[in-house]
Chains A and B, each alone.
Chain A
Amino acid sequence: KQEVTQIPAALSVPEGENLVLNCSFTDSAIYNLQWFRQDPGKGLTSLLLIQSSQREQTSGRLNASLDKSSGRSTLYIAASQPGDSATYLCAVLPSDSWGKLQFGAGTQVVVTP
């Protein structure tokens, strides 16, 4: 059974620092891995999708890497801003599952001005 873990559960950084968020999963047989952002009381916003054949994806200040063999993904957010404060969720799509995303518990990020 696939398990997804996100460490740390919470993170506070001063504005301008780079953010590093970690995600680990137990089964390397995945279609893809998706990073989301959730603001309090809001829905999920998709940030990046990495296919199983890819090693990384980039979008603006965001960069996500995927090491399938070790069951790890890292989301880097460069030059953090207070607007980056949110909960970041990692989700994997197992290869034997059609659309059944398995979510981690999330990392709550606070960027202080």
Chain B
Amino acid sequence: DTAVSQTPKYLVTQMGNDKSIKCEQNLGHDTMYWYKQDSKKFLKIMFSYNNKELIINETVPNRFSPKSPDKAHLNLHINSLELGDSAVYFCASSQATYEQYFGPGTRLTVT
């Protein structure tokens, strides 16, 4: 009964490649998020969707493009991967501004 799931768990790829991370929540929430945790373990929000509409778009390179096909799914596509994109990416969901629930994370390593 996983609440927020992400695939893949690990992603190792070379510079310049394009990759996607998928997220699904079965909590019936209306809002989903992408966070990035850097090497110093600091968490920062990247994007947020409410009812499939983008509501938060932080200062993130436009190589990162989120897509929400429906309220239960939020995907993150990254073009032309760079070494600095290596991090752990977390998906989260909430009902409006209430408690946020996080997925297990996707560890992206760019070589």
Instruction: Name A's B-contacting residues (CB within 8 A).
Output: 31-32, 34, 36, 41-46, 49, 87, 89, 91, 93, 97-101, 103, 105-106
Q: A43-B90, A106-B41 are in contact. Are A101 and B105 (CB under 8 A)?
A: no
0/1 interface trace, chain B 8-52, chain A, CB 8 Å (1 if under): 000000000000000000000001010000001111110010100
User: Is the CB–CB distance between A99 and B43 below 8 Å?
Assistant: no
User: Is the CB–CB distance between B97 and A31 below 8 Å?
Assistant: yes
Q: Is the interface of A mostly helix, strand, loop or mixed?
A: strand
Count of A-B residue pairs with CB < 8 Å: 62
User: Is the CB–CB distance between A99 and B48 below 8 Å?
Assistant: yes
User: Is the CB–CB distance between A105 and B98 below 8 Å?
Assistant: no
How distant is the Cα of A105 from the Cα of B55 in the complex, in angstroms? 25
User: Is the CB–CB distance between B104 and A99 below 8 Å?
Assistant: no
Q: Is the interface of B mostly helix, strand, loop or mixed?
A: strand
Residues of chain B contacted by A106 (CB below 8 angstroms)? 41
User: Is the CB–CB distance between A49 and B99 below 8 Å?
Assistant: yes
User: Is the CB–CB distance between A99 and B102 below 8 Å?
Assistant: no
User: Is the CB–CB distance between A98 and B100 below 8 Å?
Assistant: no
Q: A98-B50, A100-B48 are in contact. Are A36 and B41 (CB under 8 A)?
A: no
Which residue on A lies nearest to B56, using beta carbons? A100
Residues of chain A contacted by B50 (CB below 8 angstroms)? 98-99
Q: Which of A46, A89, A98, A105 contacts B99 (CB 8 A)?
A: A46
User: Is the CB–CB distance between B44 and A99 below 8 Å?
Assistant: no
Q: A46-B99, A103-B43, A105-B42 are in contact. Are A98 and B90 (CB under 8 A)?
A: no
Can you list 23 A-B pairs with a CB-CB distance of less than 8 A? A32-B97, A32-B98, A32-B99, A43-B103, A44-B90, A45-B102, A46-B99, A46-B100, A46-B101, A49-B98, A49-B99, A93-B97, A97-B56, A99-B33, A100-B56, A100-B58, A101-B45, A101-B100, A103-B42, A103-B43, A105-B40, A105-B41, A105-B42
